[in-house]
Amino acid sequence: MKSTPCAAIVGAGRTKFAEHWDEDPRSMIGKAGMTAFESVDKGIRRRDIDACYFGSFLYQVTNKIGLVPGYMSRELGMNVPMINTEAACASGGLALHNACIGLQSGNYDAVLVAGFEKMTDRQDKITDDLMFAADPHEFEAGYTFPGLYATMMTRYMYEYGNGDARCEEALAQIAVKNHHHCVRNPFAQFQEKGEITVDEVKQSKIVANPIRILHCSPVSDGASALILTRPEIAKQYTDTPVYILSSHEATDHVSLYTRDNITGVNATRIATAKALKAADLTIDDIDIAEVHDCFTIEEMFFLEDSGFYPKGEAWKHVYESCESFKGPSHIPYDKNGHELTVNLGGGLKADGHPVGATGVRQAYECFRQLRKEAGGNQIDRDVNIAMCHNVGGTGGVATVHLLARDLE
């Protein structure tokens, strides 16, 4: 394992993901940010923060606001540099990546990272708005994001499912598993909905064949925040920091029609390989992962693109593991019985997906799990290495972060 992390998380906060009719983006990010401050064990002052990094995608369109750094200066009571990043659904992950670079550069000692989105104000237009993250030719051809992912899912099922009904079942099982995990997450959008079944997924409304409504993440409002410091000073603020071992971003074609392959995400493969190499880890070292499952097929892609399974094999292992479901562990993926648990908070599918908040929320969940502070949805085995995986669009951007509680 890499001995010198690039950053340390010392505090974290978030709002519930839901339809927040009475909130605006500024108040949500203010609440998440102040909760993060309050969570720092030994305390941290606003004047200790050298910079803030924000991730958001649609705020100008959905909420008719601009100059977010100015609003955040007012809400958080700080006059430090405030950097806003946009990378569609990977905006939060990119904000976290840029924050890590800022700390590694030596310019800053402590920073705030936050992501937010208020999507329900444009419920009637959100399908069109999200297509800003796609190629204009795809939009003009009539595609929506469910349509784009339906194209990828159809090709995957054709190439690797070979007509086997279990492939479709496995994609439904991912949704079932993530709803199972969200039931004890008090911040999750679908906590109150409870468990769902494979039959409910398969019988739910078609959105873009073969994608059904229960394969999809929801339209959400919410915010999440982290306090990061340089690793060497983290214990000034908490006795139990969570270290970011490595942080990487990769990019690829925005459009599907110019890619060599649409049954995976090349940016995920590149970012994961670089993150593992930088941390001196292998994929077998990962205990838990918060994965970008905007549609269930994206979680399947992750399992193969990151190297947990060979190409075209993940659906078989998902099916087998879910058929013999034994508690919170998702996939015993190797011959030694090493267990990978994916999306303990419920993922985008069930926790919710306020686009800019997602990448930061993933790190929040891993932070809580590694510190054994996740309450009712705390994993029931000891874990030390976590991965956060955030994707923009259909794979034009991917960020990967590797986190650890203990460095030895």
Q: Is the dihedral of CA 355, 168, 325, 283 positive or negative?
A: negative
Distance CA 390, CA 97 (A): 11
> Nearest Cα to 223, choosing from 80, 15, 392, 391?
15
Which structure tokens are listed for 62? 């959905």
Tally Cβ neighbours within 10 Å of residue 239.
8
Extract the tokens encoding 110. 């402590």
How big is the chain by its Cα radius of gyration, in Å? 20
How many angstroms from the chain centroid is the CA of residue 391?
8
Instruction: Let me know: does 193 contact 150? Beta carbons within 8 Å.
Output: no
Q: Which helix (H) or strand (E) holds 154?
A: helix 145-156
Q: Are 300 and 170 in contact (CB under 8 A)?
A: yes
CA distances from residue 406 to 46, 241, 243, 319, 370 in whole angstroms, order as listed = 27, 9, 8, 33, 9
Are 58 and 150 within 8 A, CB to CB?
A: no
Per-residue CA distances from 378 to 77, 92, 219, 288, 383 (Å): 34, 23, 26, 11, 11
**Catalytic residue numbers, as ranges:** 89, 353
How far out from the chain centre does Cα 392 lie? 10
Q: Is 55 helix (H, G, I), strand (E, B) or coil?
A: strand
- Measured CA to CA, the distance from residue 279 to residue 63 in angstroms comes to 39
> Which DSSP letter does residue 277 get?
H
Helix or strand or coil: residue 269?
A: helix
- Which residue spans within 110-220 are E strands per DSSP? 110-118, 206-208, 211-212
